[in-house]
Amino acid sequence: MSIAHCKAKAKYSAFHALHQSCIGVDVHANLIVGVYQRAQFGKTTIEEQYWNSDAIKSSLKKFALWCKSLAPEIIIMESTGVYWQSLYEQLELVGFTSEQLVVVNARDVKNRRGSKTDRADAVHLAEVARQGNYRSSFVPRKDIRELRCISRAYSQLKNQRKSLVNVLHKQLCQVGCRASSVFSDIRGKMATKILDALIDGYEGDELLKKVKEICKNSRGRLKASPKEIVEALDADMESKVWFSIRKIIEHIRYLDKELEEHLDKLREETKPYKSTLDLLMTIPSVKEITAIGIVCELGDDLSAFESVRKFSRWIGLAPGNNESAGKRYSGKITPGNKYLKTLLVEAASGIGLSKTGYLKEVHQRLKERRGTKRANVAIAHKLCRIIYSVLKNKTAYVEQYKPVLKDHRLEKAVHAVAGLRTVGYACDDITVEDIETGMTSVIFGANKSKLTSNSQLVT
- Identity of the amino acid at 275: S
The residue from 115, 137, 159 where one domain ends is: 137
Helices (H) and strands (E) in the chain, counts: 15, 12
Residues 199 and 123 in one domain: no
Residues 377 and 439 in one domain: no
Average pLDDT, stretch 379-400?
93
| Domain CATH code at residue 49 | 3.30.420.140
- Residue 264 included in any domain: yes
Higher pLDDT, 382 or 11: 382
Residues 289 and 257 in one domain: no
The residue from 87, 111, 137 where one domain ends is: 137
Average pLDDT, stretch 241-252?
94
Average pLDDT, stretch 88-101?
93
Q: What is the percent of the chain with per-residue pLDDT over 70, rounded to a whole number?
A: 91
Residues 238 and 166 in one domain: yes
> Residue 448: its pLDDT value, please?
45
Residues 223 and 282 in one domain: no
Residues 190, 215: contact at Cβ < 8 Å? yes
- The span from the CA of 437 to the CA of 335, in Å, is 45
| 342-376 exposure pattern, b = at least 16 Cβ within 10 A, e = fewer | ebbbebbbbbbeeeeebbbbbbbbbbeeeeeeebb
| Residues in the chain, overall count | 459
Residues 132 and 12 in one domain: yes
Residues 379 and 337 in one domain: yes
Which pLDDT tens digit goes with each residue over 110-158? 877 777 888 999 999 998 898 888 888 899 999 999 999 999 999 999 9
> Residue 43: its pLDDT value, please?
72
- Identity of the amino acid at 96: F
- The span from the CA of 63 to the CA of 52, in Å, is 9
Computed on alpha carbons and rounded to an integer, the radius of gyration of the chain in Å comes to 30
- Residue 188 included in any domain: yes
CA atoms within 13 A on the CB side of 373: 2
Average model confidence (pLDDT) across the chain? 86
Which pLDDT tens digit goes with each residue over 314-349? 999 988 888 888 888 877 888 889 999 999 999 999
- Residue 24 domain boundaries: 2-137
Which pLDDT tens digit goes with each residue over 412-435? 777 777 777 777 777 777 777 777
> Residue 445: its pLDDT value, please?
59
Q: How far is CA 200 from the centre of its chain?
A: 41
> Residue 15: its pLDDT value, please?
52
Residues 40 and 98 in one domain: yes
The residue from 137, 163, 187 where one domain ends is: 137
> Residue 387: its pLDDT value, please?
96
> Residue 12: its pLDDT value, please?
46
Higher pLDDT, 451 or 170: 170
- The span from the CA of 134 to the CA of 314, in Å, is 15
- Element (H or E) spanning 23, and its range? strand 21-27
Domain count, the chain: 4
- Residue 238 included in any domain: yes
Residues 23 and 118 in one domain: yes
- The span from the CA of 405 to the CA of 408, in Å, is 5
pLDDT band at 458 (very low <50, low <70, confident <90, very high): very low
- Nearest one of 412, 410, 413, 399 to 356, comparing CA atoms: 399
Question: Which DSSP letter does residue 8 get?
Answer: E
Residues 279, 167: contact at Cβ < 8 Å? no
Taking 80 as the threshold, does the pLDDT of residue 389 lie above it? yes
Residues 194 and 310 in one domain: no
pLDDT band at 394 (very low <50, low <70, confident <90, very high): very high
Residues 297, 151: contact at Cβ < 8 Å? yes
pLDDT band at 8 (very low <50, low <70, confident <90, very high): low
